[in-house]
Amino acid sequence: MTILIRNGRLIDPANHIDQLADIFIKNGRIAAIGEGLKDNGVDKVINARGKVVAPGFIDIHVHLRVPGQEYKEDIRTGTAAAVRGGFVGIVCMPNTNPVIDNVPLVSYVVNLAREQGLCKVWPTGAITKGSKGEQLAEIGDMKEAGIVAITDDGRPVTSSETMRQAMIYAKQFDLMVMDHAEEKAISAGGAMHYGKVSSMLGIKGIPSTSEEVQVARDVLLSLETGAHVHIQHISSRQSVALVRWGKQMGARVTCEATPHHFTLTDQIVADLNYSTDTKMNPPVREEADRLAIIAGIADGTIDIIATDHAPHHIDEKAVEYQDAAFGITGLETSVGLTVTKLVKPGIISLAQMVTMMSTRPAELVGLKAPALVEGAEADITIIDVDKSWTVKAEEMASKSLNSPFIGWELTGAPHATIVGGKLRMLEQQVIGE
């Protein structure tokens, strides 16, 4: 298949590109970049006039729910949601059933994704066996099978010593340790941010300190061990300050922010009247936290944007707030929220957005970053940055609909997603085989 992308604005800051040009794709690769390329015999021409053509976006925090929880999401629906959201690749979390802590399970996900996936899928492995926080999983073996990082997402490692050894061990395999920073002894029983809104609504709160003490621990352990630790879904102002301090101290610490943490505050729980689509972990916190996250995005303390896409079945959400599952979907609203909340207000440039959603996420997990250069694999995301649209449940490709953003008016939408030279999404429509 050959594709010609016409008249787009190419933005790829890693390769110092910001220009109007055409891109010709052939045999899965970028065959030519230039002005006025011929469309003779081209299978598909995409008119990208007025749109941004970027190296393909990668989300390194996705719950694909495979294996074991395919009733929430499966490879097909999860990757469909990804390409609909403009992502050419996703990194999936290992808190599945059973936990991805061994080679056969890693291979299962890799192979299934190769057969059924609409985008690229890279698994992560658990830090400890069964994510029980006791014995290290076979991290080296799993790396050979295809994992790109290890993480305890969803079930944080309680013991600081276990975490310390995991960092030392992972470092020799050049694997990043992703941490869902949460001190469970502090957060136990909580269902939303601990603050005046939780007081008002009578819901047990999750104090910011439950995240902060673990972020502080991780930063200090990273300083000691030299291991690369990545703080997932940073949620509090003090956590941002701790990461900033860690970077100043020379620690190999990076972190991500989700669109919901830079968009929402705990007030959403009251505004949506206990809707369980506002329940996620870590919770959205106060305006001062949201502003600190935005400042961290602006000054580079926060490296990347990731979604923590966490689909749940309606039966797990149509229950009492305190009993509902944590998590919201995010793949299909990430670009819209990022453009609306960060790019349009001038907090980051389009080039920074591309860096935070494509180049840096790839680098963090040790992948070759997508690039708009001749000869590179054709992983490309085209964005219509001025398009106004409404988030609609019936249009979602994900199997689950647990999003607090349904009904929101956003500016900026993914226009097309090209994965390895194949057109997987055009104008919000997912394209299968």
Partner 1 sequence: MPGLKRKDILGLRDMTTDEIDLILNTAETLKDIATRSIKKVPTLRGKAYCTLFYENSTRTAKSFELAGKYLGADVINVSASSSSVKKGETLLDTARNLEAMGLDALVMRHPAGGAPHMLARHLSCSVINAGDGMHEHPTQGLLDMLTIRQQKGSLKGLKVAIVGDIMHSRVARSNIYGLTKYGAEVWLAGPATLLPTGFEEFGVKVTTRVEEALEGADVVNVLRLQLERMEKSLFPTVAEYHKFWGVTPARLKLAKANALLMHPGPMNRGVEISSHIADGNQSVILEQVTNGVAVRMAILYLLMGGGEAA
Catalytic residues: 308
Sign of the CA dihedral running 325, 257, 96, 407 = positive
Instruction: Kindly state whether residue 326 participates in binding partner 1, applying the rule CB under 8 A.
Output: no
Q: Which is nearer to partner 1, 322 or 411 (CB)?
A: 322
Instruction: Kindly state whether residue 197 participates in binding partner 1, applying the rule CB under 8 A.
Output: yes
Instruction: Kindly state whether residue 161 participates in binding partner 1, applying the rule CB under 8 A.
Output: no
Between β-strands 205-206 and 192-193, what pairing exists: parallel, antiparallel or unpaired?
A: parallel
Instruction: Kindly state whether residue 273 participates in binding partner 1, applying the rule CB under 8 A.
Output: yes
Q: Which is nearer to partner 1, 38 or 204 (CB)?
A: 204
Instruction: Kindly state whether residue 408 participates in binding partner 1, applying the rule CB under 8 A.
Output: no
Q: Which is nearer to partner 1, 271 or 427 (CB)?
A: 271
Whether a cis peptide bond, with omega within 30° of 0, leads into 98 is yes
Could you tell me if 181 and 214 are in contact, meaning their C-beta atoms sit under 8 angstroms apart? yes
CB of 316 to partner 1, least distance (A): 11
Could you tell me if 201 and 180 are in contact, meaning their C-beta atoms sit under 8 angstroms apart? no
Q: What are phi and psi of 128, to 5 degrees?
A: -120, 160
Cross-strand pairs, 160:
none
Q: Which is nearer to partner 1, 190 or 246 (CB)?
A: 190
Short-list 347, 332, 351, CA closest to 410 = 332
CB of 401 to partner 1, least distance (A): 16
Number of residues that bind partner 1 (CB under 8 A): 21
| Rounded (10°) CA dihedral 355, 178, 338, 383 | 50
Which residues in the 287-316 window bind partner 1 by CB under 8 A?
315
Nearest-angstrom CA–CA distance, 409 and 414:
15
Tell me which of 111, 199, 388, 429 binds partner 1, using CB under 8 A: 199
Q: Which is nearer to partner 1, 196 or 392 (CB)?
A: 196
Give the list of residues 6+ apart from residue 185 with CB closer than 8 angstroms, or none. Answer: none
Instruction: Kindly state whether residue 137 participates in binding partner 1, applying the rule CB under 8 A.
Output: no
Tell me which of 245, 274, 389, 408 binds partner 1, using CB under 8 A: 274
Short-list 27, 26, 18, 23, CA closest to 7 = 23
Q: Which amino acid is at 219?
A: V
> What mask, x for binding partner 1 by CB under 8 A, covers residues 204 to 243?
xx--------------------------------------
Short-list 128, 1, 90, CA closest to 422 = 1
* Stretch of 39-47, 141-149, 189-197, 421-429 lying at the interface with partner 1 (CB under 8 A): 189-197
Instruction: Kindly state whether residue 41 participates in binding partner 1, applying the rule CB under 8 A.
Output: no
Instruction: Kindly state whether residue 185 participates in binding partner 1, applying the rule CB under 8 A.
Output: no
Nearest-angstrom CA–CA distance, 43 and 421:
12
Instruction: Kindly state whether residue 319 participates in binding partner 1, applying the rule CB under 8 A.
Output: yes
**Number of other CB atoms surrounding residue 318 within 10 Å:** 9
Nearest-angstrom CA–CA distance, 57 and 345:
21
Tell me which of 168, 201, 223, 367 binds partner 1, using CB under 8 A: 201
Q: Which is nearer to partner 1, 104 or 202 (CB)?
A: 202
Residue with tokens 């601990």: 194
Tell me which of 20, 200, 249, 393 binds partner 1, using CB under 8 A: 200
Nearest-angstrom CA–CA distance, 139 and 176:
11
Q: Which is nearer to partner 1, 201 or 298 (CB)?
A: 201
Tell me which of 56, 123, 125, 195 binds partner 1, using CB under 8 A: 195
Name the site residues for partner 1 (rule: CB under 8 A). 194-205, 273-274, 315, 318-323
